[in-house]
Amino acid sequence: MDPAAQNPFRPLPAVEEVLADPAAAALAARVGRELLVRFVQEELARWREEIRARGLDAAAVRARLEGGELALALAARVRREEGSGIRRAVNAAGVVLHTGLGRAPVHPAAAQAMAEAAASYCVLEVDRFTGERNRRDDRLSALLARLTGAEAGLAVNNNAAAVLLLLNTFAAGRATVVSRGELVEIGGSFRMPDVMERAGTRLVEVGTTNRTGIDDYRRAAGPDTGLLLKVHTSNFRMEGFVAEVDPAALVALGRERGIPVAYDLGSGLLEAEGATPLAMLGAEPRVRAAVAAGFDAVTFSGDKLLGGPQAGLVAGRRAAIAELRANALYRALRLDKVAIAGLEKTLELLLAGRGDEIPARRMLFATADDLRPAAEVLAAAAAAIPGVRAEIAAGESQPGSGSAPAVRLPTWVVRVNAAGLGAEELAARLRAGEPPVFARIQQDELLLDPRTFLAGDLERVAAALRAAVEGAG
Ligand SMILES: *Cc1c(COP(=O)(O)O)cnc(C)c1O
């Protein structure tokens, strides 16, 4: 036999040959010829690698090509390309502030304000009544002050930015005193000591991992101290022989020594008058209480327990807020018009006594009894799919996003088993469907938690399940 015919690389087509196929032309029309060329090159390289690694012979390669494997792989690459990026998803995982799924879904009124600000000109840095230039977050700051009881407010891109601005403004080139037990790492590589270094401040750790008192701060506070900082350990909980510094005592120490005092709250539980308290979160610190304790600045996220768009909010004393605003970094960290529009609307809802309508809060309030009917409807819809077993079971949802980590919210979940499909495979198919559905896997079982459903999601999940299971056939 001709030895060349036995060369397993010989059957592989040239890039141009693949592109000449009418099916490839259709794919090129979807993602552009240039990208498709790259996909073909990468796919052929993958084939060559597999031939080498697995010692495939020419006959095996030919059989694969004749079976259309290359064309199928290219079509899958194109589908993946088209299906990538930010898009609507269904959260069936029961984690209310799911960082991977964009944290808080904003109130429809906030979403509308954001869409309008994005699509049109808007009144951003001008007072429409006097025609004079003003600041983009003047109103937002006023709303924030009213809602928190603070003298003034300020908003930046996220809470990480707020902390960076805080440290840089008050303690660049000087020391920041923090409890050893509060040097937290927030997901996404936000480590308090690293942020301090970037902000140009020197970290002075006081106390021990489990116990810190006011005397620890008192001993460390000196002429070179720029800031006394307290950090809410939002994403973990220490139990046992523990003590953290009392906020009021820390504020008093700051006043006595003339050193600014700040509290990074993170999750930012902001209870407005008239709204039902989020009592299920237990001892989670309240923004209003921190402000009332007299901190110069209190920082928290816009998209955690507040239920708004991504932002870092600062509430505090007038002089401190003015200093933050005067820092040149503020210009680099400020919010865009879209986020401001969504935040103003979210804060207005809270001030109008309509806080209970905010989706994240509504989801946190829901009791197991509230959720049971949705779980039953979904279980019935799932069980009607051939090959699927589904039943409801008592379960637990989570606030998420590092907020109240020890808190579990009683719920009803739907346990789904599809014949011939493992839980991981079923979850992967649900994620790959349109819209993507994110479920939870627990002990090799797929669970769907209706707590985090928005309007229409129950029907979306039922349809997604059917598509995922039928795709198995
Ligand atoms: C979440 C959190 C941050 C970071 O906030 P982002 O808005 O995610 O940037 C900082 N500090 C604490 C204590 C947090 O909980």
Q: What is the mean pLDDT of the chain?
A: 93
Task: Give the confidence band of 4 by pLDDT, cuts at 50, 70, 90.
Answer: confident
Residue 60 is predicted with a pLDDT of 94
Distance (Å, whole) CA 238 – CA 236: 7
If you take atom 11 of ligand 1, which residue's CA is the nearest one? 266
Q: Is 231 in the pocket of ligand 1 (CB under 6 A)?
A: yes
Residue 186 is predicted with a pLDDT of 66
Q: Give the closest residue to 327 by CA, choosing from 226, 410, 435.
A: 226
Task: Give the confidence band of 472 by pLDDT, cuts at 50, 70, 90.
Answer: low
Greatest pairwise CA separation for the chain in angstroms: 95
Mutate to test the pocket of ligand 1, among 163, 166, 178, 190 (most ligand atoms within 8 A of CB): 190
pLDDT digits (tens, 9 = 90+) for 140-153: 999 999 999 999 99
- Provide the token pair at 294: 């007299």
Report CA(160)–ligand 1 centroid distance (Å): 6
pLDDT digits (tens, 9 = 90+) for 249-280: 999 999 999 999 999 999 889 988 878 889 99
Which numbered atom of ligand 1 lies nearest the CA of 402?
A: 15
Residue 126 is predicted with a pLDDT of 95
pLDDT digits (tens, 9 = 90+) for 94-126: 999 999 999 999 999 999 999 999 999 999 999
Q: With both helix axes pointing from N to C terminus, report the angle between 423-432 and 457-470 in degrees, rounded to the nearest 10.
A: 120
pLDDT digits (tens, 9 = 90+) for 339-384: 999 999 999 999 999 999 999 999 999 999 999 999 999 999 999 9
Residue 331 is predicted with a pLDDT of 95
pLDDT digits (tens, 9 = 90+) for 153-198: 999 999 999 999 999 999 999 999 999 888 877 666 778 888 888 9
Q: Give the closest residue to 101 by CA, choosing from 88, 83, 84, 119.
A: 88
If you take atom 13 of ligand 1, which residue's CA is the nearest one? 266
Q: Is 190 in the pocket of ligand 1 (CB under 6 A)?
A: yes
Residue 1 is predicted with a pLDDT of 59
Residue 85 predicted with pLDDT over 80? yes
Residue 172 is predicted with a pLDDT of 97
Region class of 465: left (phi > 0), else alpha (psi between -120 and 50), else beta: alpha
Residue 181 is predicted with a pLDDT of 85
Residue 135 predicted with pLDDT over 70? yes
Residue 461 predicted with pLDDT over 90? yes
If you take atom 12 of ligand 1, which residue's CA is the nearest one? 266
Q: Is 330 in the pocket of ligand 1 (CB under 6 A)?
A: no
Task: Give the confidence band of 80 by pLDDT, cuts at 50, 70, 90.
Answer: very high
Report CA(48)–ligand 1 centroid distance (Å): 46
Q: Are 259 and 294 in contact (CB under 8 A)?
A: no
Report CA(231)–ligand 1 centroid distance (Å): 10
Distance (Å, whole) CA 53 – CA 466: 38
Which numbered atom of ligand 1 lies nearest the CA of 184?
A: 13
Mutate to test the pocket of ligand 1, among 99, 186, 269 (most ligand atoms within 8 A of CB): 186
Residue 471 is predicted with a pLDDT of 79
Angle at 273 between CA 270 and CA 274, to 5 degrees: 120
**DSSP-assigned states of every residue in 393-452:** EEEEEB--TTSSTT--EEEEEEEEEETTB-HHHHHHHHHHSSS-EE-EEETTEEEE-GGG
Kindly report which listed range (31-45, 208-222, 355-369, 427-441) carries the lowest average pLDDT score: 208-222
